[in-house]
Amino acid sequence: MANDPDRARLQVALAPLGIPYDLFPCDPSLADTAQFCAAYGFSAEDSANTIIVVGKASPRVYAACVVLAVARLDVNRAVAGLLGTRKASFAGADETRELTGMEIGGVTPFGLPTGLRVLVDAAVMGRERIVLGGGSRNWKVVAPPGLLAAVPGVEVIEGLARRLDAAAVPGGEPA
């Protein structure tokens, strides 16, 4: 992976943040949270998903939302309100790819298009370390949550997501 453009693009986005991190190579077929955690021994408690949300307005309004895998994003209350729209929904795979250049399962809050809001659930910031998508399904970023706080313009929001009950946690882990 010496000449890996995905890794190089990720390193360029992370370098100015000045926070230590590790890049973790991932089999792309195992990039989705439950499969990744099961295959590589990470806890869903430490996994944070970056989800592109679209506010139903004209023109459409977007945000990248970062939430723990053990939580559910509050799209129609918290996110829609923050976007200034009455309704919001998850962007589809094609819309996510068009907006970010990234595939679902690898979306990262690092190196997103200028002007795209990054909203982080406050619970993410309470973890000792987090595992995030790396911009492709080939990489994950393992770092303290302070790496997110170092991203210019990041907004940490209390109550952006609601914790799932134990039965709904990806990979069946107790919450």
> Residue 124 maps to which CATH number?
3.90.960.10
Question: For the segment 94-147, what is each residue's pLDDT rounded down to a tens digit?
Answer: 999 999 999 999 999 999 999 999 999 999 999 999 999 999 999 999 999 999
Assess if residue 34 is contained within a domain.
yes
> What is the number of domains present in the chain?
1
Assess if residue 167 is contained within a domain.
no
- Partners of 160 in beta bridges: none
Using alpha carbons, select from 159, 128, 139 the residue that is nearest to residue 10.
139
Residue 44 belongs to domain spanning:
19-157
Asked if 120 contacts 157 with a C-beta cutoff of 8 angstroms, the reply is yes
Assess if residue 90 is contained within a domain.
yes
CA gap 39, 30 in Å, rounded: 7
Assess if residue 140 is contained within a domain.
yes
* 139-143 vs 22-25, strand pairing mode: antiparallel
Assess if residue 10 is contained within a domain.
no
Residue 53 amino acid letter? V
Question: For the segment 21-67, what is each residue's pLDDT rounded down to a tens digit?
Answer: 999 999 999 999 999 999 999 999 999 999 999 999 899 999 999 99
Task: Please state the pTM of the whole predicted model.
Answer: 0.91
CA gap 10, 20 in Å, rounded: 13
Assess if residue 138 is contained within a domain.
yes
Assess if residue 24 is contained within a domain.
yes
